[in-house]
């Protein structure tokens, strides 16, 4: 056991003053200390993507980071995505296209794909599949997720125009 250290975490625009052991994973601290349980843990070794959060605006696996490493950075979790109660383009499209079943992989997919679409507004199906390949889903076979992302992209393009 190592000594706990005080840290300040900025999550979803809010400051959390915490006392954490340096070995504790960001995923655990978000879930247990900040009470943000929408970030899920599926493997703890960086493969499944369920724990994806935004780290200074870019997708990152919170199971591969220590909480202490997040000091001075801006962390965004799924809880901030539909903060005003309105679903994001990706969330809304996943709902309409039945792109989720058990929902366990879903927050990681929403976070990953919202960020990706912002930089890739006009993706082909193959590009969507490639971008999605870092998120494992055991339920859906991906078909409807891919369809949803395409739909979300089209909608974002439409509303931007």
Partner 1 sequence: MSGAADKGIGAPLPRKEDYRFLTGQGRYLDDVAVPGALHAHFVRSPHAHARIVGIDVAAARKAPGVVAVVTGRELAEWTTPLRMAPPIEGLQPVEMATLPTDKVRFVGDPVACIVARDRYLAEDAAELVEVAYEPLTPVPDVARALAPGAPLVDETLASNLVSHQAFTAGDPARRFAEAAAVVEASFHQHRQTHAPIETRGCCAVWDAGRAHLTLHIGSQVPHPLRTTLARRLRLAESQVTVISPDIGGGFGQKIALYREELTVAALARALKRPVRWREDRGENLLAASHAREDSARTRVAVDRDGRILALELEIVEDFGAYCFYPANYLARVVAMILTGPYRVSDYAFSVKVALTNKCGNGPMRAPMAITSWIMEGTIEAIARRLGLDPVEVRRTNMLRASELPYAMPTGEVLEDVTPRETLEHALAAFDLAGFRARQREDRARGIHRGLGICCVVESTTYGSAFYKAAGIAGSGHEAGWVKIEPSGAVNASVGLMASGQGYETAFAQVVGDVLSVDPGAVRIHLGNTDTAPYGMGSRGARGGTAGGSVLFLAAQALRDKVLAIAAALLGLNSSGELRLAEAKVQRRLGGEWTETGLSLADIAHVAYLDPLRLPQGMEPGLEAHKAYDPPPMTYSNATHLCEAVVDVRTGGVRLARYLVVEDCGTVLNQQIVTGQQHGAIAMGIGGVLLEEVVYDEDGQNRSGSFADYLLATAVEIPPIEVISRHTPNRRTPTGSKGMAEGGVMGAIGAVMSAVNDALAPFGVVAERQPLTPPYIRSLLRGKV
CB of 54 to ligand FES, least distance (A): 14
Contacts 24+ apart (CB under 8 A), 85-92: 88/114, 89/114, 89/117, 89/152, 89/155, 89/156, 89/159, 90/114, 90/117, 90/148, 90/149, 90/152, 92/152, 92/155
Tell me which residue of 68, 62, 38 sits closest to 48, measured CA to CA: 62
DSSP-based three-state secondary structure for 3? coil
Q: Looking at 66-74, 116-124, 136-144, 150-158, which segment touches partner 1 (CB under 8 A)?
A: 136-144
Q: Looking at 66-74, 90-98, 115-123, 150-158, which segment touches partner 1 (CB under 8 A)?
A: 90-98
Q: Which does 75 bind (CB under 5 to 8 A by kind): ligand FES, partner 1, none?
A: none
Q: Phi first, then psi: what are they for 58, rounded to 5°? A: -115, 145
Q: Looking at 3-11, 64-72, 130-138, 153-161, which segment touches partner 1 (CB under 8 A)?
A: 130-138
19-48 residues near partner 1, rule: CB under 8 A: 21, 23-24, 31, 36-45, 47-48
Q: Looking at 54-62, 65-73, 100-108, 151-159, which segment touches partner 1 (CB under 8 A)?
A: 100-108
Contact code string over 138-157 relative to ligand FES, x by CB under 6 A: xxx-----------------
Instruction: Report if residue 95 touches partner 1, rule: CB under 8 A.
Output: yes
Q: How far is CA 24 from CA 27, 55, 69, 89, in A?
A: 8, 17, 10, 33
CB of 112 to ligand FES, least distance (A): 11
Q: Phi first, then psi: what are they for 59, rounded to 5°? A: -60, 135
The site for ligand FES (CB under 6 A) is made up of 41-44, 46-51, 61, 63, 100-105, 137-140
């Amino acid at each position: 056991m190592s000594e706990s250290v005080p840290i300040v975490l900025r999550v979803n625009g809010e400051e959390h003053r915490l006392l954490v052991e340096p070995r504790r994973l960001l995923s655990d601290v978000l879930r247990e200390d900040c009470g943000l349980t929408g970030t899920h843990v599926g493997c703890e070794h960086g493969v499944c993507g369920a724990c994806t959060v935004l780290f200074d605006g870019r997708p990152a696996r919170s199971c591969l980071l220590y909480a202490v490493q997040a000091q001075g950075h801006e962390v965004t979790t799924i809880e901030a995505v539909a903060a005003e109660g309105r679903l994001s383009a990706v969330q809304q499209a996943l709902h309409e296209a039945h792109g989720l079943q058990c929902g366990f992989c879903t927050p990681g997919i929403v976070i990953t794909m919202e960020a990706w679409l912002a930089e890739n507004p006009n993706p082909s199906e193959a590009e969507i599949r490639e971008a999605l390949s870092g998120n494992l889903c055991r339920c859906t076979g991906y078909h409807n997720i891919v369809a949803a992302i395409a739909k979300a992209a089209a909608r974002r393009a439409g509303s931007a125009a």
